[in-house]
Amino acid sequence: MSRRVVLLRHGRTSWNAVHRVQGQAESELDDLGRRQAADAARVLARLEPAALHSSDSLRARQTAGFLAEVAGLEVRPDPRLREYFLAERQGLTHAEYAALAPEEFEEFRRGNFDVVPGGESAEEVAARMVEAVADLLAAVPDGGLGVAVSHGAAIRDAVPALVGWPVTERAVLRGLDNCAWVVLDALEPGAPLRLTAYNRTVTPA
């Protein structure tokens, strides 16, 4: 029987709201982010997840906490699910970044985080994300589902690697919205996963 994994981006933070580069810097969910996390938790709990892993960043752990409460699960922190490390660009607003390094910022804005001096590469991020997802799937019984709470760029750039594409194919994927998720199916052990849904969100009431 197949297993399924949901990769959930964290809810909105005050840094997201003002377009500040987060990377691995810490920031908390804002009021909207908490509502997003609560709404997503109610929907995902209906899928009866068997395991819940999370990036060890504060915003991801806060998001995971909402699902843990309604689904009766414990959150397992996993640093491999962190966002890109973006070195000295972390903490800059987009306006500050554009003023500091305009050509680099344009590439960054297009989703190419490899241009950040001293930051992680897409290959490095994808590799650690793939390992983390494999461990999550190993904790899920046949026919079951696991949820990993992570970050927008890390999830986007992991998807190509998880489905067997070159990581450069991330260019065809848009970044995830806050508290949007990706669904992937593992049909055979060791085989690439199958992409079932991308950037799914709770429909506003």
- To the query of whether residue 19 is one of the catalytic residues in this protein, the response is no
**Residue 174's beta-bridge partner residues?**
none
State the Cα–Cα distance between residues 80 and 7, nearest whole angstrom.
Answer: 13
Q: Which of 53, 83, 120, 151 is catalytic?
A: 83
Distance CA 181, CA 85 (A): 21
Catalytic residue among 10, 53, 120, 151: 10
Residue type, 141: P
Query: Residue 179 — left, alpha, or beta (φ > 0 → left; ψ -120 to 50 → alpha)?
Result: left
Q: What are phi and psi of 150, to 5 degrees?
A: -140, -140
Per DSSP, the residues of 23-83 read TTS---B-HHHHHHHHHHHHHHHTT--SEEEE-SSHHHHHHHHHHHHHHT--EEE-GGGPP
88 in catalytic set: no
Which positions are annotated as active-site residues? 10, 83
